[in-house]
Amino acid sequence: APAARVALASYRVLLVLLVAAAYVYSTPVRDSRAAVRWLLPGKLGAATGIGVALVFRFLPVLQGDLTARRDAVNARLGGERSIRERIRLVAVGGLGRALSRADRLAVALRARCFAWNPTSPPLAYARRDWLATAAAAGLAGTVLV
């Protein structure tokens, strides 16, 4: 019985991850930011919307940097080093690269006169949104069962 409960929980997590991946793949960043700003009014919504937009744009770049860093370590006979040394090389280099990218992003935002109140696109429920809502409601229903 405990194993079945754990397997069901793992299945639910997998479903949530699949729905989230489908959302990220199918929804433009600007629409996601507008939806968050609509859901949370005021400065909190603006700040959260900015965070969502930055994560959607910035995270794939950071993942690419870490992948490139790991490939570079492996090309330099990283397989012959201890796992601790390889992790240190990738993590330290990746963190330095992430911080430099964040600094450049901050400078670019200031240079473009970053605004708290951009014009958001109009929000409207499309046919595929109803399908996604039904899938989310189904997932929520499985959690309650």
The DSSP secondary-structure symbol of 145 reads -
With a CB cutoff of 8 Å and minimum separation 6, the contacts of 38 are 45, 120, 123
Predicted pLDDT of residue 133: 87
**Element (DSSP H or E) covering residue 70:** helix 42-75
| Every domain of the chain and the residues it spans | 2-144
pLDDT of residue 26: 80
Q: What is the pLDDT of residue 119?
A: 67
CA nearest neighbour of 138 among 4, 11, 3, 47: 11
Q: For residues 123 and 28, what is the distance between their CA atoms, to the nearest angstrom?
A: 12
pTM of the model: 0.52
Task: Return the amino acid letter for 102.
Answer: A
Supply angle C-alpha 87, 14, 17, rounded to 5: 75
What pLDDT is attached to residue 120?
Answer: 66
Buried b (16+ CB within 10 A) or exposed e, 112-140: eeeeeeeeeeeeeeeeeeeebeeeeeeee
pLDDT tens-digit series, residues 35-60: 888 888 888 887 888 888 788 778 88
Q: pLDDT 10s per residue in the chain (145 long)?
A: 788 888 888 888 888 888 877 877 787 878 878 888 888 888 888 788 888 878 877 888 888 888 898 898 888 887 788 888 888 888 888 888 888 988 888 888 777 776 656 666 677 888 888 888 898 898 888 887 7
